[in-house]
Structure 1
Amino acid sequence: MTGPDPASVLGGARLLPVLTVPSTATAGPLADALAAGGARCAEVTFRTPGAERVLKEMAAHGGLTLGAGTVLTPEQAERAVAAGARFVVSPGFDEEVVAKCRELGVPVVPGIATATELMRALRAGLDTVKLFPAEPLGGLSTLRALAAPFPGTRFVPTGGIDADRVAAYLAHPAVLAVGGSWMATPAHLARGAYDEIRRLTADAVDRSTP
């Protein structure tokens, strides 16, 4: 059983803003800024106490397809989907998280860092994985090395990627989308820099468009 295809939910979006949102008060303006910049999807990480409320408020915006990131347990996956997540992203491969996401009927993109982890994900019936942390692992050279012996695998590289690197990653045929946090950092949110978030998102969308 392979479960829902992440590509069907991402809807062709090539860019995945990865959001760590310290305050729920920023959820609405953040969703507005991302959508105004042309983003179609976003990942809200479960790294803050208010992540579920942020996810729920951003999902209610209607202009974005929201997923949950940094999901470490089946229970977190359940809470994320209840809050409006339409896909789940994990930093590593965990069989129980994958099984729970299939039970919930949502796509899951587990993180891998090695060929061994990728083989475990493939054996579990998945064909889309997150390469994490992409840049510290060696960036594009590592992605190319992993993609070569595993044709048909799709990657969502995330971790240390910035605006200057996004187009090079997306040029690789095995890359489904690129995740990054540079468009909307906690520092941007702390100072209410929503115009800057919109500008950085628009620039990233432009760089990710063939």
Structure 2
Amino acid sequence: MTQLSEFQRERVQAVLAASPLVPVIAINELEDAVPLCQALVDGGINVLEITLRTEHGVNAIKAVREAIPDAWVGAGTVTSVAEYRQVEAAGAQFVITPGVTEAILEFGVTSEAPLLPGISTVSELMMGYALGYREFKFFPAEVSGGVPALKAFSGPFSDVTFCPTGGIRRDTAKDYLALKNVKAVGGSWLTPADVVAAKDWAQITQIARDSLADL
């Protein structure tokens, strides 16, 4: 069984160390991708999870990678190996999934773009753990037990760290980040749909700044 390399673990750790907040970004208009991501970077957030929740995800990753080379640009909501290959070709520097399959975990071990697998149960965690994964997305965090669940995970898996995402708000992010096994928190509150639709990039920058200041 092929194991995750130390290099890939270090890449994922670098992503999680680069920003305590990871915006979950859905691009409804491709032209918004670069200004939206630049607004987040201007606000102090330099890890960008561009999801495949819309048809523009892959092209948005390409555009942002070219326009903002100093940011960490990754792909979220990747649900198949085919999508994994697509975003890898588009230049994604990391890949985040909402859940796990054996195929995705095994592909992630060999990929240039390191994987942060999504899990919500100990059994799913153990699937990844067996392949050498020690960093996971915990999703959907709030409905899967939130802070108490992550505290419980730390008992049998003291060497595992998480990026919880799903239902976390600006005022609850710091509760998660206070946990020793949480390195970053993902959230969609950083990119409110109405603000993005209005193309109010200055407000996006302010939300990012204020959210970081709250931590």
Q: Do they superpose with TM above 0.5?
A: yes
- Structure 1 residue 67 displacement after superposition: 0.7
Among residues 15, 27, 35, which one is paired with 1:21 in the alignment? 27
Q: Which amino acid aligns with 1:175?
A: V
Matched, 1:95 2:102: yes
Aligned: 1:207 with 2:214: yes
Unmatched 5+ residue regions in structure 1? none
CA contact (8 A) 2:116 2:137 kept: yes
* Residue equivalent to 1:44: 50
Counterparts in 2 of 1:190 and 1:109: CA distance versus 1, 3 Å: same
Shift of 1:187: 2.5
Matched, 1:183 2:186: no
Q: What residue number does 2:4 align with?
A: 2
Equivalent residue letter for 2:43: G
Alpha-carbon distance between aligned partners in 1 of 2:90 and 2:193, rounded to the nearest angstrom: 21
Distance 2:84 2:211 in 1: 28
CA displacement, residues 180-200 of structure 1 (integer Å, 9 cap, x when unaligned): 110113332111121111111
Match of 2:148 in 1: 141
Q: CA deviation at 1:128?
A: 0.7
Post-superposition offset of 1:36: 0.7
Deviation (angstroms), 1:203:
1.4
Q: Is the 2:78–2:84 contact (alpha carbons within 8 Å) kept by the matching residues of 1?
A: yes
Letter in 1 for 2:183: L
- Give 5+ residue unaligned stretches, structure 2: none
SS in 2 for 1:164: coil
Q: Aligned pair 1:125/2:132, yes or no?
A: yes
In structure 2, give the amino acid aligned to 1:74.
V
What is the alpha-carbon distance in structure 2 between the residues aligned to residue 186 and residue 166 of structure 1?
A: 19
Which of 105, 119, 140 is the aligned partner of 2:112?
Answer: 105
The separation in 2 between residues aligned to 1:106 and 1:92, in whole angstroms, is: 17
- TM-score after normalising by structure 2: 0.92
TM-score by length of 1: 0.94
RMSD, aligned α-carbons: 1.4
State the one-letter code of the partner of 1:2: L
Alpha-carbon distance in structure 2 between the residues aligned to 1:28 and 1:198: 13
- Matched residue SS, 1:152: coil
Count of residues paired in the alignment: 208
The answer to whether the Cα contact below 8 Å between 1:21 and 1:189 also exists between their aligned partners in 2 is no
Greater mean deviation of Cα atoms: 93-102 or 80-89 = 93-102
**1:138 CA drift (Å):** 2.2
Q: Between the two proteins, what is the percent identity of the paired residues?
A: 34
